[in-house]
Structures are given as structure tokens and as C-alpha cells.
Amino acid sequence: MAVYLNQFQMLPIERTRKVLEDLFGASPSAEVIEQSNQQCYEHMESVVENTIKSSIEGSAVMHNDETGMRCEGTTKWIHVYSTNKHTYYAIDEKRGKEAMERIAILPRFKGVSVHDRWASYDNYDCEHSLCNAHILRDLKLIEEEYNKPWAATMRILLSDANKLNQSAMIGAKAIKAIEKRYDNIVKKGLRQEPLSHRITGQRGRKAKSKSLNLLVCLRDRKKQILFFLHNKDVPFDNNLAERDLRMIKLKQKISGCFRSQHGAEIFCRIRSYISTVSKQGGQVWDALQNAIRTPSSQLIQI
């Protein structure tokens, strides 16, 4: 119950103690609760670090994202690797390639990685699909703040393409028509954009406007933006990973920061297990009882 309240419901330890006291008339010490979390963490090692990681590495489509979290008085990064059946969280001091190498899922992954335009993901030799929810937000900003008609037209095209793709088996002819419209919008936008310019007194590469930067992305990464049209297993956006990361933000809102790196690692492993159980239709309460009582070598593999 203590692990359930502290790790799943994300109550701080003192509130967990108070709930247990109100319900059962006895309040375990903070040390007992921490020892219970530790036991759960140790018993889950094999199923999380081997089974869940391996399942994600071998999947056809994986979602990636990361978010900042206060830990030991500084900002660290919680990375999430998600499929429809599995979730893996990891905390690291870094956000980019160094962390991804240490976590060691992306270096071995050969499927399609769905993510935002964070450049570190591009280092890996897998297929890449960009999150179109981010693209739509960027297009809306360009449309509203810079009054660019091409951005509004592209936003409508991508939204319509997504609706069409969801409503029916879209054929090759329809896909070609969408791609032709896409190319025409990009070409028209590029003709309307001023050339890159260098700010007076600034050295180095010429600066691009935000709208030109987005147009260049639309031109050069067309395949990754329209990947969802060519592969039904690839979604339009990266909402799966973003939903999984909401639990991290909820933890921060309810309980604040992590006081220790190890506490954050315990949370990441237990949440990986809980999220995976939930995705597969299992009962979290039963799964936690299993994990508390059963050593890693005997824990039922997910």
C-alpha cells in the first residue's frame, strides 16, 4: 500500500504516512516506506531493464521524448521510450546524445522513431518520423505572428491529410495529390521569404528567420513529416510519448523535486513497470503486490 500510494498515486512520503495512519491506525516510518520502494525497485530490475527495454528495442515503431525535472537541486532530464504496449523511463544529467548513448535503446533500434525536431535524435541509424502536432503549432505561430499565408495553407493541408488517413485506406493517387500540394506550398513560401541575412557586426553563418527555418524543414524533411501517409503503423503525432511524460509533470506538481538521484531512478523503474502493466490491461495493485513479494528472477515477464 505504501508503494502504491507513494509511487503510483505519487503522494509525498509524509502524506503517505498520514493516509496509512488514518486508514489503519498505524503509520510506518519514512525508512520503512523507502525500504519498500527499494525492494520493489530491486525485484523489478530484470523485467524492466531486460524485458521492457528489449521489447521496445525490437518494436517496429517507438515514440521518444524528454522533459526537465529538478533533482538534487539541479535540472536533470527524464527520457521516455514508448510503444503501445511498453514504457521505459530513465533519468540522466544530459538531454541529448550523451544520455541517449547511456540509456542504450536508440543505438540499437532499427524501426521508426517518432519524435520532435530535437537534433540529437537524428544521430541514430533508424527511420525517423516527425511529430506533426509540433509542426502544426509552429505553423500556427508563423501564421499569427508573421502573417504568412503559406503557413495557414500548409496547416490546413496537414490537418486534412490526417483526417483522410484516419477515415479510410488512403490510396497512392490520393497520397501523390497531397504531396504535390505540399511541394507547391513550400515552393510558394520559399519565393515569398527574404533570403538569409547576417546581422550587422555578427560573425558566422547568416541568420534565417523563423518562417524560413520552418520552410527549410518542410522542404528537407518531407518524408519524415508525411511518414504517417505511407505507413499505417506510424501515427500523425508523438502524443503517446507526451502522455507518458505527463505522469512526470504530475509527480513534480504533487510531490515537487527528487532529493536524490537514486530516488529518481526508483521512481523511473517502478513507473516503467506500472505504465507497461496499464497499457497491457493489467491491474496495477496486483502487479505491485507481485513485484513486492517476488524476486526478479521469478517475476512474471511482461
pLDDT of 168? 77
pLDDT of 216? 96
pLDDT of 256? 76
The burial class, CB within 10 Å (0-12 / 13-18 / 19+), for 62 is: buried
Query: What length does the chain have?
Result: 302
Domain boundaries, the chain: 1-128+240-302, 132-197+205-237
Torsion over CA: 156, 159, 163, 166 (sign): positive
279: Cβ–Cβ under 8 A, 6 or more apart, which residues?
Answer: 84, 85, 86, 87
E-strand ranges in 126-210 read 127-130
Single-letter residue type at 237: D
pLDDT of 174? 94
pLDDT of 198? 43
Torsion, CA 141, CA 145, CA 148, CA 152, rounded to 10:
40
Backbone angles phi, psi at 65, to 5 degrees: -165, 175
pLDDT of 208? 75
Local mean pLDDT, 10-residue blocks, the chain (302 residues): 94 94 94 96 95 97 96 95 98 97 98 97 98 98 94 97 88 95 97 65 67 96 97 96 92 84 96 96 94 77 70
Distance CA 141, CA 174 (A): 28
pLDDT of 298? 66
